[in-house]
Chain A
Amino acid sequence: MIGIKKLLSGNEAIARGAYEAGVRAACAYPGTPSTEILENIASYPEIYSEWAPNEKVAVEVALGTCFAGARTLAAMKHVGVNVAADPLFSLAYTGVNGGFILVSADDPGMHSSQNEQDNRYYAKFMKMGLLEPTDSQEAKDFTVAGFELSERFDLPFMLRITTRISHSKGPVTLAERCEVPLKQYQKNVGKYVVMPANARKLRVSLEERLSRLAEFADTFPGNRVEGDGKEFAVITSGMGYQYARETLGNRATYLRLGLTFPLPQKLIRDFVDRHGKVYIIEEGEPFLEEQIKALGIPVIGKELLPRIGELSAAILRQKLLGEAVAQVTLAADAPLRPPVLCPGCPHRGVYYTINKVADVVTTDIGCYTLGALPPLGAGETCICMGASVGVAMGMAKMMPDKKIIATIGDSTFLHSGITGLMDVVYNRGIITLVILDNSITGMTGHQQNPATGFTIKNEPTNKVDIAEMVRACGVKKLWTVDAYDLAGLESALRAATTCGEAAVVIAKQPCVLLPGRVGGDSYQISDDCKFCKMCMKLGCPAIEQKEGRVIISAALCNGCGVCLQVCKFGAIKKAGDTHG
């Protein structure tokens, strides 16, 4: 394996880098585009790996392994860093024992996210070193380098990647694992206890550590001048570098920056002095640009290039070379294809039934957010992980005459819905919380969580009982219902929304994509069909209208039987049983 090249995604390369750097511990909560980092790390028996219930816990456990002397990696999507921000802000003060890398996987263009926050600002705000790789090979190399720098400067490092780094594959040269022994743990109250008297001293030492790193930044090999083109001079980082090279090739000279906080000030000053007119090509916000302009160095950045969405070679060709924008011609009338709940998805019938009962429905982050799309259209607020519960509580306090139902998945409930539920009970909220328990973390591609009974390495483990947890919060009204049983759901929801206190309905049914679940006996529609199209209100991709009839696609139907329950004419039957 050693020395050979493998085609790896950025996420796989970071996992490989962690292995080669002698990492002993890695923690995360799944979130696109970061998920595969921990999934791959977990395949190395040398590394203790865990899915934590949320990002804050992942970072706190990672702090513990770091303080205990292990090289440690924590990984999450950009918005996960919001959840984990509290311990991370203190970590720069304490510094590290074993090296510490936080991987922040940002999502410009919002392929699978609610915002496109540029987490490079967090590194500056939290006072961590910041590394920005440009491809899979550099993702691996910077992971290895980041652990060395973290230990050398006694600072945590952020390895900041984006969707195109995470999910683009490129050749990566493999190396052997370097065994790094646990550093000795020593009780050190002045370092690890951030009470004010200690924190004031750490605050001073933090600036000293950062200024040493700033000096080093000018000599870091990942910060370097490339090419000798005369037409353009460019300062760039991350994916911006790739799009700039693609567009300008040999026509430009590049100052590519891999360590972007603290900035290599001397390198930048010398580069701009030499070239005069310099463009900053960075995806997202003007992170480099603002700092460079604050040094009094004139550069061209976001006055020319967009800060919204992803950058691309096409955008640079248009803005820098004046090329025309490609026109959309053939695809002009192509209908959109938004993602949908799968055929047989247990969430479908739950939202269909909620629509019959609720006045207001709040929803949360997961596959079930798709229930907010037509035709179900169930879910009128979705803000962040766990917010469905608190938002419903606030609404119920102001609109007591409305039946308010909050909906949340099992993993999201454990992530941060549970705290909202405590608030509902404690402050006497009257809402109904529906926990959509599909026994897995679905949207990110089936990760285990504390209620599934398995670890990240698929070993059997202790299991949190969601119903017991709900009861322990003080909820007296609790129903557990089969998510495919629409009558059972409806009677539970009607009872819950009229009981006059906090109520919880757990709708249980495993994700239809779990192994062994797909491909139950399919259903079909007989001649008894009166074409009322009630079944089409479910928004099942297996049910479509063709040549004046409603049909069920045998190839797509997973046999959940929900459509059968909404048909008033008994026209939906098991395949092969049409005239029964």
Chain B
Amino acid sequence: MAKVTNVLIVGVGGQGTLMASKVIGQAAMIEGLAVKQSEVHGMAQRGGSVVTHVKFGDMVNSPLVEKGEADIILAFEKLEALRWADYLKPGGTLVINDQEIPPMPVIIGAAVYPQQIFERLSEAGIKVIRVNATDLARAAGEIRTVNVILLAVAAKLLEFGRATWEEAVAEAVPSKALAVNLQAFAIGWDLK
């Protein structure tokens, strides 16, 4: 059986999820693996629920991760973590940014933002890593590096070494922003 690693990156349109998936795909390329990465463009990018699939390994056919197949889900927002949690495979890990962005049905009072999301996911037996990436990015002096910090936390769980990741980050960001992004990557990577 061909070995394939499945990663989902989920969040709210405009949060910078595409950059994280680009780096993971690039890292797999550097390692010489087969890789596919599937994105959503267009309407959902206007504040909708967005998901990017990244698959790499010996051979990849479908670019899409199915329910119960994800090794790692990287969630940029809590509700989106809950929405996509069924995609995690038994024993998989859910990395969640501790941020709450209410969707429009909640804002207008037509729905309720689910409570105690971390507790519910943990009770379901899911391994959850909770990250307050907004505070960490602020501490790093660049709020826009939230995505790189989250990426680094997920990267630590994958099989590639730090040098591969840093090379992949360098491919994905403009050279003038490289230093701050590598610094942010280190914050996520060194997180206990």
Contact = CB atoms under 8 A, between A and B. Distances in A.
A171 B104 contact: no
B120 interface: yes
B40 interface: yes
A328 interface: yes
Contacts of B162: none
Nearest to B82: A334
A32 B42 contact: yes
B26 interface: yes
Interface in B40-83: 40-49, 60-64, 66-68, 79-80, 82-83
A330 B68 CA distance: 12
A152 interface: no
Interface in A524-544: 536, 539, 541, 543-544
A341 B13 CA distance: 11
B96 interface: no
A391 interface: no
Question: Which of A32, A246, A337, A443 has its CB near the most chain B CB atoms (within 10 A)?
Answer: A337
B66 A336 contact: no
Contacts of B105: 335-338, 374
B111 interface: yes
A314 B67 contact: yes
Nearest to B104: A340
A298 interface: no
Contact of A370 (B46, B68, B110): B46
Interface in A421-441: none
Nearest to B121: A330
Given A336-B103, A339-B47, A326 B79 contact: no
B36 A170 contact: yes
A539 B108 CA distance: 7
B25 A169 contact: yes
Contacts of B110: 374
Interface string A284-324: 00000000000000000000000000001110000000000
A348 interface: no
A544 B107 contact: yes
Counting contact residues on chain A (CB < 8 A from B), the size range is: 35 or more
A375 B104 CA distance: 8
A469 interface: no
B35 interface: yes
B116 to A, nearest CB: 12
A342 B46 CA distance: 7
A543 B109 CA distance: 12
A374 B104 contact: yes
A interface secondary structure, majority: loop
A7 interface: yes
Contacts of B104: 337-338, 340, 373-375, 539, 541
A373 to B, nearest CB: 7
Contacts of B13: 339
B179 interface: no
Counting contact residues on chain B (CB < 8 A from A), the size range is: 35 or more
Contacts of B40: 111, 167
Interface in B69-124: 79-80, 82-86, 101-114, 120-121, 124
Contacts of A40: none
Interface string B24-42: 0110010000111111111
A342 B12 CA distance: 12
A33 B41 CA distance: 7
Contact of A367 (B38, B46, B121): B46
Contact of A112 (B26, B44, B114): B44
A106 B112 CA distance: 35
A167 B54 CA distance: 12
B44 to A, nearest CB: 6
Question: Which of A111, A336, A367, A373 has its CB near the most chain B CB atoms (within 10 A)?
Answer: A336
Contacts of A381: none
A342 B113 CA distance: 20
Given A333-B114, A337-B103, A33 B86 contact: no
Contacts of B112: 335
B29 A539 contact: no
A99 to B, nearest CB: 28
B48 A245 contact: no
A112 B62 CA distance: 21
B120 A313 contact: no
8 A-B pairs with least C-beta separation: A112-B42, A32-B42, A335-B111, A339-B48, A326-B67, A337-B103, A246-B62, A168-B63
Interface of A: 5, 7, 9, 32-33, 35-36, 111-112, 135, 164, 167-171, 242-243, 245-246, 312-314, 326-331, 333-342, 367, 370, 373-375, 443-445, 536, 539, 541, 543-545
Given A326-B86, A339-B13, 14 more contacts: A36-B41, A111-B42, A112-B43, A167-B40, A169-B25, A242-B63, A243-B61, A246-B61, A313-B62, A313-B64, A339-B48, A341-B46, A443-B43, A539-B107
9 contacts: A167-B39, A168-B39, A169-B36, A314-B66, A326-B66, A329-B124, A333-B114, A539-B107, A541-B107
